[in-house]
């Protein structure tokens, strides 16, 4: 089973230099994303797995060790998911 992440359609965003501000109008919550989290948010314009996002971080940021990319990606996705900015979906079409 694979897990895919996508942006919540209710979330509004505003770029701010290398950061991004997210706003959830339903819950009146703001979130300021640092450069890495903003990069992940931008990548989630197309739903993606955490593995694909880690690979994109390693490709786009020089000197990032894969284990750091995994840690940072998981942490950012979990935080955004807990705030309902990102939706986690399980794809059960995979073969065992």
pLDDT tens, 17-46?
889 999 999 999 999 999 999 999 999 999
Confirm whether 96 is domain-assigned: no
How remote is the C-alpha of 82 from its chain's centroid?
A: 12
pLDDT at 96: 46
pLDDT at 2: 84
Which domain covers residue 47, as residue numbers? Answer: 2-91
Confirm whether 62 is domain-assigned: yes
Q: Where are the beta strands (DSSP E) in 1-96?
A: 2-7, 12-16, 19-24, 29-33, 86-91
Confirm whether 22 is domain-assigned: yes
Task: Count structural domains, the chain.
Answer: 1
């Amino acid at each position: 089973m694979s897990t895919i992440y996508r942006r919540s359609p209710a979330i509004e965003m505003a770029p701010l230099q290398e950061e991004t501000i997210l706003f959830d109008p339903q819950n009146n919550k703001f979130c300021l994303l640092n450069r890495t989290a903003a990069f992940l948010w931008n990548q989630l314009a197309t739903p993606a797995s955490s593995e694909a996002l880690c690979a994109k971080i390693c490709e786009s940021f020089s000197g990032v060790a894969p284990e750091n990319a995994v840690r940072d990606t998981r942490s950012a996705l979990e935080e955004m998911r807990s705030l309902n900015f990102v939706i986690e979906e399980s794809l059960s079409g995979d073969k065992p």
